[in-house]
Every structure is written in structure tokens, then in C-alpha cells.
A and B are shown apart, each in its own frame.
Chain A
Amino acid sequence: AAGVIQSPRHLIKEKRETATLKCYPIPRHDTVYWYQQGPGQDPQFLISFYEKMQSDKGSIPDRFSAQQFSDYHSELNMSSLELGDSALYFCASSARTRGTDTQYFGPGTRLTVL
């Protein structure tokens, strides 16, 4: 079965640079969620989109922005990167309109800021 696809899987950036993470949800899933997991931490919710509209917002820094496109893929844009942004970034998708509220996670993008 198709899973959530995230790219790139690994990313190394310098401080103050920008990064773009991409997420391709499971086909026919209408909701995308982004989470950030620091080393040894639990995943923290950043933001979600339902049918291409922002549906919920968590502890996402103002330096980050995200959107969901017409083909339902989503991108997380991160600017002015800081050392503390080094983390594993997960995208998850679900099919809320079909009553499937289980979030299935992608493999994650490991971002290292030097």
C-alpha cells in the first residue's frame, strides 16, 4: 500500500539559510499534518491542512510557513534557520472526510543546522 512520502530524507543547512521540506500524502487523503521531533523528545505538532486550507496551528515559529497545494502535497518552508531547528520533521496524512482519523506518518526528514 502507498505510504506518505517525504523529501528530502536528510538535509544539512547552515545557520540563517532556508529549507523546504516536501510531503506527499497517501492517495485520497485530504488532511496533512506536520510535526517536529527534537532529539530524545516526543513529536510536537506544528500545523495542519484540510482540503488545502490551514486547519490548525501549533507551536510553529513565525520563521516557518507551510501550504498545501491543489494536488494535496504540502511544503514546509523554514527561513533564518537556527541551531535549535535541528530535528526530525514528520508529515502525516489522514482521510477525515472518509472517517479515517488515523494519522499515518512519513519516514521523516532529518534536518541538521550547522
Chain B
Amino acid sequence: AQKVTQAQTEISVVEKEDVTLDCVYETRDTTYYLFWYKQPPSGELVFLIRRNSFDEQNEISGRYSWNFQKSTSSFNFTITASQVVDSAVYFCALSEIDRGSTLGRLYFGRGTQLTVWP
């Protein structure tokens, strides 16, 4: 069965600090997707990144970077030079890749509440 663990429930940092959000996953599938979503106080879920299990290249997008390591089943997210607007709950999620069926539900971790203080 799929499982996503975000061990950090809450993190507080001061503006301009770097912060890393951890995500560890379990799956018996050999092909799968990993995602990060951001949920600001307004409540919507904002897509940040998708990674498939065949692509272990790290990715950088502005102040955001992601480190995918299949060997440790981890998909960590780093925010460089954090800003107050980064304050939100961040969810890591996993879904299967199955072209033969139409599955694809997301399994979410419990989320990490990030608070960035000015």
C-alpha cells in the first residue's frame, strides 16, 4: 500500500533562512509520481512540482529546489531565502502510474506547516 510520511508537523524560520521539508514514501509500485502541493491560509491547493519514478534528476525553480532519492524513498523540498509569503502548509503526495486503468488517486502526507517570520 502507498504511504507518505512528513515527519515535520511544524517548522518556523525567520525570513531569508533556508528551510527543507522532508518527505518519505512507501510503495510497491515500480512506476509512480511524486508531487508537492502548497496550501496557503486561503485554503486552495497549489501544484508545485511532479516527478516520475524514472527521473531522479533534482530540479530547481527559482528559490525552490527538490531532491529526489529513490534509494532512500525520499523527495525533499528546499526553499532558499524564505519569505513571509512562503508561510503555508506543504503537502507531499504520491500516485500510481497505470496506463492500463484509470487509477491515479493521490495519497497525501499529513503536511508540514511552515511559518516564516519577518
Contact = CB atoms under 8 A, between A and B. Distances in A.
Interface in B46-65: 46-47, 50
Contacts of A92: 45, 106
Interface string A83-114: 00000101010101000011111111010000
Interface in A35-91: 35, 41-45, 48, 50, 53, 55-56, 58, 88, 90
B50 A105 contact: no
Is the interface on chain B under 10, 10 to 19, 20 to 34, or 35 or more residues? 20 to 34
B105 A108 contact: no
Chief secondary structure at chain B's binding surface: loop
B47 A102 contact: yes
B102 A56 contact: yes
B105 to A, nearest CB: 4
Contact of A45 (B106, B109, B110): B106
Contact of A96 (B43, B47, B104): B104
Interface of B: 33, 35, 37, 43-47, 50, 91, 95, 97, 101-111
